[in-house]
């Protein structure tokens, strides 16, 4: 069995969504300073690094991160390698899917961190038509290695289309060396009461290796 970490490392200089403040990690006590233990304080946004978008991210009275069914974030998943496509992803790029699937999109690495703008800093990001295609099929969860699931000029519509249909969105995955194929996903966001998002540790399990 092989376990692959597909989470971004939380650090002060990490890529963030434009306008979001990066995490702050402050040492509170340290062995080198004569204290009995090391402890630190961390301040970060709910959409930092690898994270999950629940309906509450855009929908008033939608389910928060603490109310998401765990079977939307733990289960059989399929990784699609779309790294040869350097533009917003269309339905034809994804191909046939089945209802209830968890789909993870690996996109073009781009020039990560060059601008921070969604749809320009690498990864797989969707057109609004493609988002509607996913809704019509009835997939359960969609994940991407992009900082945002939506193409720059359609970002809000893409999010609304998916979240209105209660499709769970995972953003900011780290999959440069992950091959296309079938895996078992475990993605566990922080259980924040009424959270509009949740930073997560995500892994893929390949039981054949």
Catalytic residues: 57
Question: Contact at 8 Å (CB) between 204 and 181?
Answer: no
CA distance 200 to 137: 26
Give one DSSP letter per residue of the chain, joined into a string.
-EEEE-PPPP-TT----TTPPPPEEEEEE-GGGT-SS-EEEEE--TT-SSEEE-GGGTSTT---GGGS-GGGTEEEEEEEE-TT--S-B-HHHH----TT-EEEEE---TTTTSS--TTTSSS--B-HHHHHHHHHHT-SEEEESSSSSB-GGGHHHHHHHHHHTT-EEEE----TTPPSEEEEEEEEE---TT-S-EEEEEEEEETT-
CA–CA distance, 94 with 142 (Å, rounded to integer) = 12
């Amino acid at each position: 069995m092989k376990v692959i970490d597909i989470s971004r490392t939380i650090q002060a200089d990490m890529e963030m969504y434009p306008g979001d403040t990066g995490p702050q990690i402050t040492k509170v006590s340290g062995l080198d300073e004569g204290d009995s233990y090391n402890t630190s304080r961390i301040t970060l946004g709910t959409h930092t690094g690898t994270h999950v978008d629940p309906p509450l991210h855009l929908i008033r009275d939608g389910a928060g991160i603490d109310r998401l069914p765990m079977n939307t974030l733990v289960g059989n998943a399929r990784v699609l390698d779309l790294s040869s496509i350097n533009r917003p992803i269309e339905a034809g790029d994804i191909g046939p899917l089945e209802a209830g699937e968890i789909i993870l999109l690996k996109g073009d690495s781009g020039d990560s961190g060059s601008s921070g703008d969604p749809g320009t800093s690498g990864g797989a990001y969707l057109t609004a038509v493609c988002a509607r295609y996913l809704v019509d099929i009835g997939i359960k969860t969609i994940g991407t290695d992009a900082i945002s699931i939506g193409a720059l000029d359609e970002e809000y519509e893409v999010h609304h289309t998916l979240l209105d249909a209660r499709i769970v969105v995972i953003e900011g995955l780290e999959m440069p060396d992950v091959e296309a194929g079938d895996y078992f996903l475990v993605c566990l966001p922080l259980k924040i009461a009424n959270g509009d998002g949740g930073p997560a540790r995500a892994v893929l399990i390949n039981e054949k290796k």
